[in-house]
Chains A and B, each alone.
Chain A
Amino acid sequence: MSAAKNSRKKDRAGLGVAPAGSSSRNYGLPLPGLSGEEFGGSLIVIEGMDGSGRSTQISLLTEWLESEGFAVETMGLRRSGLVAKDIDALLAENTITRMTLTLMYATDFYDQLEHRIIPALRSDFVVLADRYFYTLIARAAVRGIERDYLHGLYEMALRPDLTFWLNVRPEAAFEREFRKSHAISYWESGRDLSLSDDLYKSFIMYQAKIKKEFEALAERQGFVSMDGEASVSAVNAELRKRIAAHLGIQRTHYRPSAALAQLWR
């Protein structure tokens, strides 16, 4: 496959198109039908591997922002109306090849971008993204697809206002995931890469590869890297501080409601 090799050295998770910190809201190309349009709202991304506490933080941030009077929309991977179910089915089958999976995820991403994120931003919402295309790039890159191909694929994506990376050791993520679901899935442990027959080893090796991709992305894209192994309340306080500064919220005090109290540890 020609899109697989070559640029490993020349483009370490680089963007190649628009430099990070550019004021443009996309990565080099506008979506068809969207050129020149300005809209408000804020796009805030939380990245991190499974077990890094992303979804917990998104639930808490949603409640906090709503209590501060901000309208919130969320997005995540495999949540599009168009192809989410098809991807589920493809993953269950295991017959899917890496390019097809990469492009199905890209379809899922752009469907949400065009039908969910952009309409929400037009209405001045705060969009909280439970992962973004960065995860998709990292997953495809560790499977040997060229990084500049992948960045080209997402050239029309919106540039987030803030991206947080909840950084955890793969060992800690494994423990958290295992405690949560008492099992580790085929894809989360990268079994398709045949790294090890030992599920634990495979998980650690796979997540370490993903983490390496993220380290390069974090540098190029200006992610705010955070200690995902700190307590939920400590991580949440730091997130609130940064988001408050961006949105101009004066008071960052927050205690979760009874409904979310069990997340607060």
Chain B
Amino acid sequence: MATRTVPATDPASIEPAEAPGEDSQLLEPARAYPGALIVVEGIDGSGKSTQLYLLKRWLEIGGYRLHFTEWNSSPLVKSATRRGKQRRLLTPTTFSLLHAADFADRCERQILPLLHSGYLVLADRYIYTAFARDVARNCSPRWLRNLYRFAPIPDITFYFRAPLDVAVNRIMSGRPKLKHYEAGMDLNLSLDRAESFRIFQGRILAQYDEMIESDHFVVMDGTLPVNKLQKQMRQYVKSRIDLSRFAPKKAARRAR
């Protein structure tokens, strides 16, 4: 399958990247569930959360059946993660496993049941965050791919790509106090927290780039104006997913 790269210059030219023919219709994935999963990925400061929020608002206002989920949001594992981070007990392996446990909880109790019941699920970060970040922490890619094998494959993965300096400057101006693990201080990259963060994010960026083809990322230019990017995103979603599946049921409304 070809890479689904969205051209940065001309939003009008967006089209499904597969060769024309049987695959070029709306994506009706051969999945075991009627729902659909849209994911955004990218380094901190790439603009992905803003874009997913706007996509969510667009769909919410339209009345579509959707659920929004975030990386690292399950209350079940939160206390362990917080304790591990505060006391700096986490190694690359246990850091990775705790996040996987957290994701598994969300996956088994939210994402999969909702996909089975026909929801459009929007995820701010997904398993590719773990792949990029944990490989940057020297975990084995083979081990990680196995670890997350239970996760459903997204219908669309938007990869927001911004140059390292742009992304890092966005983060540093808004959130000057970087946390220990967030800055990759556990990797002894630099004694300076900001410098360590920059090196760590650079490693993560390189890992994301590695996955563009193998994981069929739709690459989005994170330096474009917000509204322009959002327009591209909405067009791409419409071209790939039959949104009428998630539309409010008119018949039910008329019956009232």
Question: Could you mark each residue 126-162 of chain A with 1 if its beta carbon is under 8 Å from any beta carbon of chain B, else 0?
Answer: 0000000000000000000000010011011000000
**Cβ of A32 and Cβ of B93 under 8 Å apart?**
yes
Is A208 located at the chain interface by the 8 A CB criterion? no
Residue of A3, A32, A98, A153 contacting most chain B CB atoms (<10 Å): A32
Query: What 6 A-B pairs have minimum CB-CB distances, sorted nearest first?
Result: A103-B101, A152-B146, A99-B104, A97-B108, A3-B150, A32-B138
A4 and B108 alpha carbons, distance in the complex (Å): 13
**Once the chains bind, are B108 and A104 in contact (CB under 8 Å)?**
no
Q: Check A100/B104 contact, CB under 8 A, given A86-B77, A149-B146, A152-B143.
A: yes
User: CB < 8 Å: which of B84, B97, B98, B143 contacts A29?
Assistant: B143
Instruction: Determine, out of A109-117, A180-188, A228-236, A246-254, the stretch whose residues face the partner at the interface.
Output: A109-117
| B146, closest chain A residue (CB) | A152
Which B residue sits closest to A98, measured CB to CB? B108
A110 in contact with B93 (CB, 8 Å)? yes
B224 within 8 Å of A by Cβ? no
Q: How far is the CA of A90 from the CA of B109 in the complex (A)?
A: 14
In the complex formed, the residue of A with least CB distance to B74 is A100
Query: Which residue of chain A is the closest to B135 with respect to CB atoms?
Result: A32
What total of A-B pairs shows CB separation below 8 Å?
A: 99
- The reply on A2 being an interface residue by CB < 8 A is yes
Q: Could you tell me if A2 and B80 are in contact, using CB atoms closer than 8 angstroms?
A: no
**Chain A neighbourhood of B198, CB < 8 A:** none
Q: What chain A residues lie within 8 Å of B91 (beta carbons)?
A: 31-33, 110-111, 114-115
- Asked if A106 is at the interface (CB within 8 A of a chain B CB), the reply is yes
Residues in A with CB closer than 8 Å to B143 are 29, 152-153, 155-156
Q: Of all chain B residues, which has the CB nearest A102?
A: B104
- Please count how many residues in chain A sit with their CB below 8 Å of the partner chain's CB atoms: 32
Do A153 and B80 have beta carbons less than 8 Å apart?
no
Residues of B within 8 A of A153 (CB): 143, 146-147
CB distance from A200 to the nearest CB of B (A): 30
For residue A119, CB closer than 8 A to chain B, the reply is no
Interface residue ranges of A65-113 to B (CB < 8 Å): 81-83, 86, 90, 96-100, 102-104, 106-107, 110-111
Bound CA–CA A102/B148 (angstroms): 12
Mark B86-130 against chain A: 1 for CB-CB distance below 8 A, else 0. Answer: 000111111001101100110111001000000000000000000
Residue A1 is within 8 A (CB to CB) of chain B in the complex: yes
Partner of A110, one of B83, B94, B146: B94
B194 at the A interface (CB under 8 A): no
- Choose among A4, A97, A106, A115 the residue that contacts B97 (Cβ–Cβ < 8 A): A106
CB-nearest residue of chain B relative to A93? B76
- Which residues 138-174 in B have Cβ within 8 Å of A in the complex? 138-140, 142-143, 146-147, 149-150, 152
**A82 and B80 within 8 A (CB):** yes
A155 to B77, CA, bound (A): 23
